[in-house]
Structure 1
Amino acid sequence: MLLNTDDFKLDVTSEIGTLRVLLVHSPDSGLGKVVPSKAQDWLFEDIVHLDTMRSGEYDYYIKLLMYFLDPDKIKGKLADIDNPDSKRNFFKPDNEGFHNSSKVVEIQTLLSDILEQKDIRKKLVAAVCAIEGCTYRLQLQLIDIEPVELAKIFISGSLNDEEMIFAPIPNMIFSRDIGIAINNHMLLNKPAKKARARETLLVRYIFFNHPLFAGYRDNILEIPDTVQHFLRPGEDNEGKTTLEGGDVMMVAPNHLLIGWSERTSVSGANEAIKLLFENDVVEKVTIVKIPHKRDYMHIDTVFTQVKRNVWVLLRSLTIEDAGQDEAEPIAWFADKKNKDKPEIVQFRKGKKPKTFATLEALLDNISQKDLHSNGPTRFIYSGNNVFPYDAREQWTDSCNLLALKEGVVLGYDRNDKTVEAFKQSGFDIIKVQDLLQKFEADELNPETITDTLILMPSAELSRARGGFHCMSMPLQRDAV
């Protein structure tokens, strides 16, 4: 069933404005089919237990989102939803008890919707089969499969419970990486790894063909590759034009951050800046270069925003470096002598580039100049800035928090030292299980709750190497 598109608005101007609509993908059966021999090729670090991830962890995420974004779908119904006969259906789009929210939007639902269109189904089947190397007979077979089932096949890689025809795309749970809403535009990604090619293709078809985004088709930005890219020698990642959403942050209406990281190249950042400036989407873009190591991967694993004047970050990466004086991103970062030092350069239309010595200096500038904070900028450090807990907890996404509204963020319950740092900064700490019960009993209200870190169960989700910032693509936030 097509979602109600009448009141949809694409509008994201910050990382902390009250969240109204977001795009997610619930763990699908493909995550339960990752094998050790292919885990790294499929960009997974570990083998997860799917049922625990779904029913003991991710379902709390969906319930919490519903209380904040679409309370009519859950308020007064929690006991029924938690009934053993229906508990696993609430967040799964192919089950009878699925919430089908127009605020907490499931990618699989949107994919099923567009596959109802026969011409789209034929084109997308052909495109998927081309990148996956299918036989022609399999292509014809897939065209005739019912849309809801075909959407599951495209995502999970399984024709049925026994037969896999493609590799799974387990990283689709990290919906942040497939694109980023920037004001009323959508910037689609160019993934660094082949394992994410199919999910990128599926999402491109969704954004250009689903009625939900019909009013914004002219605002969808696709990053082109560099001229004559096909002549580049070899498969060197350094030369590729890549960009992933975990490296893009919409911190203010006029200001975007882009990370140059393991997954986003300086060429990708350069092409994004050209697109954004040519289309007058933002006035300034700051490139944050971090070490190109698996430990960090994206800038949102190193820092995220909590309030106008509060950020959580990894202290060990705040190394001073003055940078150079060039006008183009590619030229600026051409000197790789200090490859593992963070470098921060801000590009503004018609003005000279500006540098920042540390992450704190950049984030303080955003808080004070872009967001006009009334108080001094404060930093909460991963692991409370104590070695080795800072590095250990950053690895389990202590810095990868999602703001549901200003000051109310959610993260994993396993990062004890970071939780201590939040307490010391005056934040309330509550487990999601307790919070949901308090919402249901009217002891707390999502609209009035302030300065709170919500702790989410994390035994299996954290093994997938991504937090709730990674697991969300905001489509609409209130202005700050």
Structure 2
Amino acid sequence: MILENNDFKLDVTSEIGRLRVLLIHSPDSGLGKVVPSKAQDWLFEDIVHLDTMRTGEYDYYVKLLMYFLDPDKIKGKLADIDNPESKRAFFKPDNETFHNSGKVVEIQTLLSDILQQKDIRKKLVAAVCAIEGCTYRLQLQLIDIEPVELAKIFISGSLNDEQMIFAPIPNMIFSRDIGIAINNHMLLNKPAKKARARETLLVKYIFFNHPLFEGYRDNILEIPDTVQHFLRPGEEQEGKTTLEGGDVMMVSPQHLLIGCSERTSVSGANEAIKLLFANNVVEKVTVVKIPHKRDYMHIDTVFTQVKRNVWVLLRSLTIAEPAQDESEPIAWFADKKNKDRPEIVQFRRGKKPKTFGTLEALLDNISQKDLQSTEPTRFIYSGNDEFPFDAREQWTDSCNLLALKEGVVLGYDRNDKTVGAFQKSGFEIIKVQDLLQKFETGELNPQEMTDTLILMPSAELSRARGGFHCMSMPLMRDKVH
């Protein structure tokens, strides 16, 4: 049965409007097959324990999403879902008891759906085999595998969970990076690393062929490479056209942010701006150029939005000039607070570009001008702006939060100083385990919650180097009024 959602429309106009539909990918067996010798090539920092990540961490994420987005499929069923015999089955698409939600949508489900079409199956098998250098006989073998199993193979890289036929794509858990919804358009990514080529291909086929997106085929934007790019020398040249979704934020109906980072090039940002303006998708695009460092990777590792007037961010990237007491010796780490300062340029259709001196100035402008906040803009800083906790906690995604609705965000439980900063700012703090029980008993209603940081278990997820903003591709949000 092909996944349906009769209420679906592609519509994202902010980072904080109430979330209605999102695309995720729960951890697959490929994550459990990352080996140390290939971890860097596959863009992983560490070796994760798959079962803990699945059943002790990510499953809380999916349960929470279901209570907020599709409560009829989970309310009153939590005890059965938590039964050891069914716990994993509820969340994996290849099992009969999978939730199959049309609001908390699994990439693997959509892939299985389109593979039911024989012509699509043949084309996609051929494309995957071309990328992965498979033999022709293996290509013929894959065409004859039934769709649900074939989707699993494409993602995990393994036949029957045993024989690996090509590399896994462990980064697919970070669904944000493969595309971004901008109003009623979808901007597909152009990844910086070859390790993400297969997931990009799979997602292209999904958006262009799944019935869920049939009404939006003409609104899918693909970033072209620069003219005659194939004539440029070298394979890793700096001028390469790349863009990943973690560097793209839809902050208001007519304003998009694009980060230039380790993963998104200036050329990629330029090509995206041309496409967006040519198709009248937005009126202005602000480019935020951050240092090309693994510490940051994407702009959503440096800041995310909590409310229309509240942002969480790494303060060391916002200070225009380093604060310094001349009576004290200069600390060895002080210089970093100035040298990593971003460059920020805003492009507006038909007008001259304008610049911002700091991230705080840009974010304040968004809150006050674009979102017309009636309250002053406030900033919550990673690690409570205390060295070395600011850098340590940013590394474990203290700034990478997902808003389920305005003021209600998810973050990792390990970032203690940042949690303290949220408390000082008047936010309620609650562990997801306690929250789910309160939802189940009716003590709390998800839709009535305000100003809350929900703490998620994170021992293994944080090893993968991405937070819940990375692990979500919003497809539909309510407008912020």
The reply to whether TM is greater than 0.5 is yes
| 1:162, distance to aligned residue in structure 2 (A) | 2.1
Query: Residue 363 of structure 2: SS of its match in structure 1?
Result: helix
Instruction: Please say if residues 39 and 47 of structure 1, whose CA atoms lie closer than 8 Å, have aligned partners that are also in contact.
Output: yes
SS at match of 1:96: coil
After TM superposition, give the deviation of residue 85 of structure 1 in Å: 1.0
Q: Which residue of the partner structure matches residue 430 of structure 2? A: 430
Unaligned runs of 5+ in 2: 322-337
Give the counterpart letter for 1:383 in structure 2: G
% identical aligned pairs: 90
The count of residues paired between Structure 1 and Structure 2 equals: 464
Offset at 1:7? 1.9
Specify the alignment match of 1:171 in structure 2: 171
Instruction: Output the amino acid matched with 2:275.
Output: L
Q: Is residue 401–residue 467 contact of structure 2 (8 Å, CA) maintained in 1?
A: yes
Using the alignment, how far apart are the partners of 2:306 and 2:69 within structure 1? Answer: 18
**Number of the residue aligned with 1:161:** 161
List structure 1 runs of 4+ shifted beyond 4 angstroms: none
CA contact (8 A) 1:288 1:342 kept: yes
**Cα distance per residue 1:43-78 (max 9 Å; x no partner):** 000000000000000000000000000000000110
- Matches of 2:102 and 2:61 in 1, distance apart? 16
2:206 aligned partner: 206
Q: Residue 379 of structure 1 corresponds to which residue in structure 2?
A: 379
Rounded to whole Å, the distance in 1 between the matches of 2:153 and 2:289 is 37
Q: Which amino acid aligns with 2:217?
A: R
Q: Which residue of 2 aligns with 1:466?
A: 466
Cα offset, 1:160, TM superposition: 1.9
Equivalent positions of 1:34-49 (< 5 A) are 34-49=34-49
Residue matched to 1:331: none
SS at match of 2:187: strand
Deviations 1:185-242 (A, max 9, x none): 0000000000000000000000000000000000000000000000111123411000
Partner letter of residue 24 of structure 1? I
2:298 alignment partner AA: H
Corresponding residue for residue 310 of structure 2: 310
What CA distance in whole angstroms lies between the structure 1 residues aligned with 2:194 and 2:31?
17
Where do residues 15-414 of structure 1 align in structure 2 (5 Å cutoff)?
A: 15-320=15-320, 340-414=340-414
Q: 1:340, CA displacement in angstroms? A: 4.4
Paired residues of 2:317 and 2:340 also in contact (CA < 8 A)? no
Which residue pairs with 2:324 in the alignment?
none
Q: Measure how far apart 1:320 and its partner are.
A: 3.0
The answer on whether the counterparts of 1:192 and 1:237 sit within 8 Å (CA) in structure 2 is: no
Deviation at 1:319, TM superposition (A): 3.8
Amino acid at match of 1:169: I
The answer to whether the 8 Å contact 1:191/1:263 transfers is yes
CA RMSD in angstroms, aligned pairs only:
1.0
Distance 2:405 2:55 in 1: 25
User: Are 1:32 and 1:49, in contact at CA under 8 Å, matched by a contact in 2?
Assistant: yes
Aligned partners of 1:292 and 1:340 also within 8 Å: no
Match of 2:335 in 1: none
Secondary structure (helix, strand or coil) at the match of 2:105 reads strand
Question: In structure 1, what is the Cα distance between the partners aligned to 2:236 and 2:34?
Answer: 26
- Partners of 2:211 and 2:401 in 1: CA distance: 30
Give distance in 1, aligned partners of 2:359 and 2:54: 35
Q: CA deviation at 1:259?
A: 0.1
Distance 2:185 2:105 in 1: 18
Please list every run of 5 or more consecutive structure 1 residues that lacks an aligned counterpart in the other structure: 322-337
In structure 2, the residue matched to 1:14 is 14
CA-CA distance at 1:138 after TM superposition: 0.4
Shift, 1:146, TM fit: 0.4
Task: Write out per-residue CA displacement over residues 241-295 of structure 1, whole angstroms, 9 at most, x where no aligned residue.
Answer: 0000000000000000000000000000000000000000000000000000000
Would you say the 8 A contact 1:93–1:100 is kept in 2?
yes
Q: Per the alignment, in what secondary structure is the counterpart of residue 447 of structure 1?
A: helix
Q: Are the aligned partners of 1:291 and 1:339 in contact in 2 as well (CA < 8 Å)?
A: no
Kindly provide the CA deviation profile for residues 346-374 of structure 1, in whole angstroms up to 9, marking residues without a partner as x. 00001000000000000000000000001
More displaced 10-residue stretch of structure 1: 414-423 or 157-166: 157-166
